């Protein structure tokens, strides 16, 4: 039975990955300091093959026994989170990645870094392919996340070249689905929460900035395929179907047959104007592409969020 460590395993993506691995008959160790993760995300996973360890990965990581795989997902990952926790974000991208790589070297485990499309910054190349080096403001408010992930990637490649460690890097584009935090500041949960509560839908700028939305089950499948592949360099995983943010708001209004007004606010500093993955590599190297359509994914997510809000939960 393969044994895997998932750092950040109680978060949105981490909890889905833990669940996926358990269904693949892995033994799973979930590690999280619960800064932005939640026990509620993994409460249904407890069994003899699942262990939760509360730990901050910027400190030395000790795991007893062998490890085959380390999925390093630990990090604040939404604008609200990394603007509230800028130093923690930088530390987990640097110290946390260093500690997790050290563990991988000790255990001779294959290592996967969850990087991000934010390494491309506000891109001057569209769509974004892995060979693009990005357009990042290193001293802007978003730089703490962008540069933390860029450093993480450099550190992973250094361990690969210096120590011969088997490493993988996934660059994750906008992902949505159940277990997103309602107040994490990302566009899908924000608009859905406002929609359900009858509030105006917040649109930043003129809403003509673009995003490409990937449903969580597709993303997790891509991460798993990358880990098991023999491709050692970064791979974009995301849905290449690009749309305007204002069109997403109108789609949600149409789906719910509601008439919430739109409320336009100033665009945040360094907010990307376009975001669309080139997934040619994922198709060629992993045989992967997204399968869940936007309408289907939004419907599932909206139903989940409606249930959460009906219970009075605050995530």
List active site positions. Answer: 145
Q: How far apart are CA 116 and CA 257, in angstroms?
A: 34
Coil/strand/helix, residue 98: helix
Within the chain, residue ranges assigned H as helices are: 12-23, 79-84, 86-91, 97-107, 143-163, 187-196, 216-228, 245-256, 280-281, 294-310
DSSP assignment of 126-151 equals: SSB-TT---B--TTSTTHHHHHHHHH
Q: What are the distances in angstroms from CA 128 to CA 35, 237, 276?
A: 31, 11, 6
SS3 content of the chain, % helix, strand, coil (to 5): 40, 20, 40
Calculate Rg over the CA atoms of the chain. Answer: 19
Q: How far apart are CA 176 and CA 240, in angstroms?
A: 14
For residue 259, give both structure tokens. Answer: 């008439």
Q: How far apart are CA 228 and CA 224, in angstroms?
A: 6
Cβ-based neighbours of 188, under 8 Å, separated by 6 or more: 174, 176, 180, 213, 248, 298, 301
For residue 172, give both structure tokens. Answer: 């994750």
């Amino acid at each position: 039975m393969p044994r895997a460590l998932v750092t950040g395993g109680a978060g949105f993506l981490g909890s889905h990955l833990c669940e996926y691995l358990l269904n693949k008959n892995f033994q799973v160790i979930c590690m999280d300091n619960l800064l932005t993760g939640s026990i509620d995300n993994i409460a249904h996973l407890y069994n003899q093959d699942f262990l939760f360890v509360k730990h901050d990965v910027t400190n030395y990581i000790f795991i007893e026994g062998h490890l085959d795989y380390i999925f390093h997902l630990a990090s604040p990952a939404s604008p609200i989170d990394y603007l509230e926790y800028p130093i923690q974000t930088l530390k987990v991208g640097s110290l946390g990645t260093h500690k997790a790589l050290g563990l991988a070297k000790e255990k001779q485990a294959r290592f996967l870094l969850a990087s991000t499309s934010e390494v491309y910054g506000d891109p001057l190349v569209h769509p974004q392919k892995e060979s693009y080096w990005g357009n990042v403001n290193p001293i802007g408010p978003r730089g703490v996340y962008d540069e933390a992930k860029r450093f993480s990637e450099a550190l992973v490649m250094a361990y690969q070249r210096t120590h011969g460690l088997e490493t993988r890097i996934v660059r994750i584009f906008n992902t949505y689905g159940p277990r997103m935090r309602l107040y994490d500041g990302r566009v899908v949960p924000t608009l859905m929460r406002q929609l359900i509560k009858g509030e105006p839908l917040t649109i930043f700028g003129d809403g003509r900035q673009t995003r490409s939305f990937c449903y969580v089950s597709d993303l997790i499948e891509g991460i798993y395929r990358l880990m098991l592949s023999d491709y050692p360099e970064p791979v974009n995983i995301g849905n290449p179907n690009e749309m305007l943010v204002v069109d997403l708001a109108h789609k949600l209004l149409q789906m719910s047959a509601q008439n919430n007004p739109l409320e336009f606010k100033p665009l945040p500093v360094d907010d990307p104007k376009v975001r669309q993955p080139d997934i040619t590599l994922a198709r060629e190297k992993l045989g992967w592409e997204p399968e869940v359509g936007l309408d289907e994914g939004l419907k599932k997510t909206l139903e989940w969020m409606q249930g959460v809000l009906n219970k009075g939960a605050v995530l």
